[in-house]
Amino acid sequence: MARLGAVVVVFFLAAALAAEGILDPVDFLALQAVRRSLDDMPGSAFFDAWDFTADPCGFPGVYCDGNRVSALALGDPRAGSPGLTGRLDPALGRMSALTELSLVPGRVQGELPASLASCSNLRFLAVSKNLLSGGIPDGIGALSNLRTLDVSFNQISGAIPPSIASLPSITNLILCHNQLTGGIPSFPDSSPLLRMDLKHNALSGGVPGLPGSLQYLSLAANRLTGNVDFVLPRLTRLNYLDLSMNQLQGPIPASVFTLPLSVLQLQRNFFSGLLQPTSDVTIPVVDLSYNRFWGPLSPLLAGIGQLYLNNNRFTGDVPSRLVQELVGTGGLQLLYLQHNFLTGIEISPSSSLPSGVSLCLMYNCMVPPVYAPCPIKAGTQNTRPADQCPEWRG
């Protein structure tokens, strides 16, 4: 009976503390540890108001639900404000009610605390643009409520834990501009993932199975290899696709051109084959430059706003519809065709391009009929040598 009475006393004491807004002692000590491990950079005054003789729930960046810390936003969020320096203390993992943890850009270094895996309610984790290093803790993949993981612009290394792909609530995975290696884990089609940004790492292997829910996919500037013709057609909701600067190869399925994309960037790979869209393409920006595409240009590309097809192996004449869209009142504003094997274009030498329109035809199997300034990388040669242009020479 005495033991039961003690339990009742503890229960009512905890309830009284919560009612009075007094922070749970575990969270109080954890916040003190966090404060000891971090400092303001010169010009920042974020921690000036962290006076532990007062209620920590009133500190800048500390948000409480009852007597527990529910969200922690470390650093002054105003644009241009200096960030913090120091390290993230493992005591963060003792705030078991934490649902959001963010860190403003600064110079915080060290590893992501593995103890964060104990924050089972965590929904939002964003610590971008610091100097964090080490790997992504495996335990992060056990946070079943996690929706956003953003560790971009750090020095995170190692592999992406495969368990990340199984997170049942993940919608935003932003790991770009780090030093990640290994392959990209395969995601189940049931994943709710909307945004995957892994660009500028050292990831290798092929593009794995990805969920049809994806709307934003950037895997640029890695070391990815293989084909994508079986992966991309399933991603019917994509509005942004960037696979540039990899070692991907093979054909591009025609269905890619029917996706509701605002940007399609596949430049600087080893993609090859014919470009054969089945209907008018209306993507605002398409960059297929520096690949190995060949064959004639499709007139169905005329509805694009900015079209980069330079440094490929296209042949034949430039379709008249592309020219009409460029020099008329169409939506085509930029057409880069330099460094191909094109043999003609129907445009009057006296034509002048409308203001704001760019056309480059240098280094093809023809003499450009109109003068149009080209980017410096196009070089200074107007035409290809005749021995590289058998149709033109004939």
Torsion sign (Cα): 386, 389, 390, 391? negative
| pLDDT at 331 (0 to 100) | 86
| pLDDT at 328 (0 to 100) | 77
The span from the CA of 255 to the CA of 253, in Å, is 5
The span from the CA of 256 to the CA of 282, in Å, is 12
Q: E-strand spans in 198-276?
A: 202-205, 216-218, 223-226, 240-242, 247-250, 263-265, 270-273
pTM of the predicted model, to two decimals?
0.91
Domain boundaries, the chain: 249-393
Helices (H), 142-293: none
Burial track 351-366 (b if 16+ CB lie within 10 A, e otherwise): eebeeebbbbbbbbbb
Q: How many residues in the chain?
A: 394
Q: Which two tokens stand for residue 138?
A: 């495996």
Q: Which two tokens stand for residue 54?
A: 């007062």
φ, ψ for residue 275 (rounded to 5)? -100, 115
The span from the CA of 247 to the CA of 323, in Å, is 32
| pLDDT at 14 (0 to 100) | 45
| pLDDT at 346 (0 to 100) | 87
| pLDDT at 51 (0 to 100) | 95
Q: Find out whether 381 and 363 touch, Cβ atoms under 8 Å.
A: yes
Of the candidates 351, 350, 369, 373, the one whose C-alpha atom is nearest the C-alpha of residue 360 is 373
> How would you write the pLDDT of the chain (394 residues) with one tens digit per residue?
444 444 333 344 444 444 445 899 999 999 999 999 999 999 999 999 999 999 999 999 999 999 999 999 999 888 778 999 999 999 999 999 999 999 999 999 999 999 999 999 999 999 999 999 999 999 999 999 999 999 999 999 999 999 999 999 999 999 999 999 999 999 999 999 999 999 999 999 999 999 999 999 999 999 999 999 999 999 999 999 999 999 999 999 999 999 999 999 999 999 999 999 999 999 999 999 999 999 999 999 999 999 999 999 999 999 999 998 988 766 899 999 999 999 999 887 767 788 889 999 999 999 888 888 899 888 889 999 999 997 654 4
**8-state DSSP, 144:** T
Cα–Cα distances in angstroms (integers) from residue 72 to residues 52, 172, 374, in the given order:
16, 19, 51
DSSP sequence for 275-286: ---SS----SEE
The span from the CA of 309 to the CA of 359, in Å, is 11
Torsion sign (Cα): 14, 19, 22, 28? positive
| pLDDT at 226 (0 to 100) | 97
| pLDDT at 78 (0 to 100) | 81
Q: Find out whether 247 and 224 touch, Cβ atoms under 8 Å.
A: yes
Domain at 249-393, CATH homologous superfamily: Ribonuclease Inhibitor (3.80.10.10)
The span from the CA of 257 to the CA of 28, in Å, is 55
Q: What share of the chain is helix, strand, coil (3-state, %, to 5)?
A: 20, 25, 50
| pLDDT at 19 (0 to 100) | 41
